[in-house]
Structure 1
Amino acid sequence: MNPEIDIYLSQGCMRCEFGGTPQCKVHNWTEELNLLRMIILDCGLNEELKWGVPCYTWHNKNVAIMSAFREYCALSFFKGSLLKDPERILDKPGENSQAGRLIKFTNIQQIIEKEPELKAFIHEAIELEKEGREVKFKTVNEYAVPEELQHKLDEEPVLRQAFEALTPGRQKGYLIYFSQPKQSKTRETRIEKCIPRILEGKGLHDH
């Protein structure tokens, strides 16, 4: 057991102003996080503190991470998309998440009932690392280009050149962002607002 995780469980991740105070969200899930910790360690993973939260590794490979949120605590698997999940227990952290998967808990009983499944997931995740399995991420060419963006690129060669000059990661970020709204008008508005950034060679979140 890593003493740094003891500090996390008593004070939080210290990444916001509530760290070390009774308002820290870690305190909402003390019992649940302690039980998750015992289950994970029982499977033979190494315990480390990364990004301010408990991370569990196998031979320096990240396998799982334990987190506290306002409305739930969670056990997340870095390569969760490769895990067998016939009962659909695992959730995507976000709509466009390709690799990570998590299990949310809102009370201790849920963890107790799911302990066999959790250990099965953990052991399978370890086997993935032993086998050297990797998640195959979609390339930028596999993302659909919204019709509204395609029109702009066709109409403005300078914009097309600037967009194609962006790194694949920046292109992907824009494609996901532009595709999210259901209404065409909203997609057009997003595109218009981002055109200056694209022309400057910046990504969606670049300063």
Structure 2
Amino acid sequence: MPTLDPRVDAYIDRAAPFAQELLRHWRATVHAHCPDVVETIKWGFPNFTYRDKILTGMAAFKAHCSIGFWHGEAAVGADHAKGGAMGDFGKLTSIKDLPPKAEQKAILKRAMQLIEDGVKARPARASAPKPPPEVPDDLAAALRANPAAQKTFDAFPPGQRRDYIDWIVEAKKAETRERRLAQAVEWIAEGKRRNWKYENC
């Protein structure tokens, strides 16, 4: 029986229905072909490690999912690699977007072999820096009303500010946005980054 991390269950349960099906499929596929895999949460997303190295990871977003491999195209193969920030298979909206099942198995086996052979992970891609995130008016006002939060937010690097801004602006309902806004200001005032819960995972 595979060892399942309840944090991964919670992550999948929070995802949109289309994403839940895809994430559950990938999770089961990884366990089926790599019985020694260990589940964890890294950078706020479910990851699967093999021999203490990251084998593959998955993430759900508002309208798509992504699946990535630590060894990138070396694991996936040139025929399937789409790469980029959307994972090695590109933007996924259903199981049909994945390679055939036999290919999924072959890719996982290849990724495992790369780890067994001690092959180093793919080099980081050089990318143009993103422009500083634009702070929405409601967050700016809430920060002004809380000097401690304002000071911490101003000291955050752009990526950490962007994490909070994206979380707030992606809310679909006004009440959800208000709840996230209040939670964000509370955490920021305490010096916490957006994904602070997972930082010691």
Class of the TM-score when normalised by the shorter of the 2 chains: 0.5 to 0.7
Structure 2 distance, partners of 1:136, 1:114, is: 24
Q: Over residues 13-68 of structure 1, what are the superposed CA-to-partner deviations in whole Å (9 max), with x where a residue is unaligned?
A: xxxxxxxxxxxx54441111111111011122221122221100001101110111
Q: Is the 8 A contact 1:55 1:65 kept in 2?
A: yes
Structure 1 distance, partners of 2:160, 2:5, is: 36
Residue among 93, 104, 111 paired with 2:91: 104
**Paired position in structure 1 for 2:69:** 77
**Paired position in structure 2 for 1:40:** 30
Closer/same/farther in 2, CA of residues 107 and 123 from structure 1, 3 Å limit: same
Residue among 60, 85, 88 paired with 1:68: 60
Which protein has the larger Cα radius of gyration, Structure 1 or Structure 2? 1
Closer/same/farther in 2, CA of residues 82 and 5 from structure 1, 3 Å limit: same
Stretches of structure 1 that go unaligned for 5 or more consecutive residues are: 12-24, 140-171, 178-202
Q: Is the 8 A contact 2:70 2:122 kept in 1?
A: no
Q: Over residues 115-161 of structure 1, what are the superposed CA-to-partner deviations in whole Å (9 max), with x where a residue is unaligned?
A: 2211211111111011100146389xxxxxxxxxxxxxxxxxxxxxx
**Paired position in structure 2 for 1:158:** none
**Paired position in structure 1 for 2:112:** 126
Stretches of structure 2 that go unaligned for 5 or more consecutive residues are: 130-156, 162-201
Percent identity reads 22
Please provide the CA RMSD for this pair: 3.2
**Paired position in structure 1 for 2:81:** 90
Any residues of structure 2 matched to 1:1-207 within 5 Å, and which? 1-11=4-14, 25-44=15-34, 45-83=37-75, 85-87=77-79, 89-94=80-85, 101-111=88-98, 114-135=100-121, 137=123, 176=128
Q: Could you tell me how far 1:109 is from its partner in structure 2?
A: 3.1
Structure showing greater relative contact order (alpha-carbon pairs closer than 8 Å, 6 or more residues apart): 2
- Amino acid in the other structure paired with 1:101: D
Figure out how many residues of one structure are paired with residues of the other and give that number. Answer: 130
Structure 2 distance, partners of 1:79, 1:30, is: 25
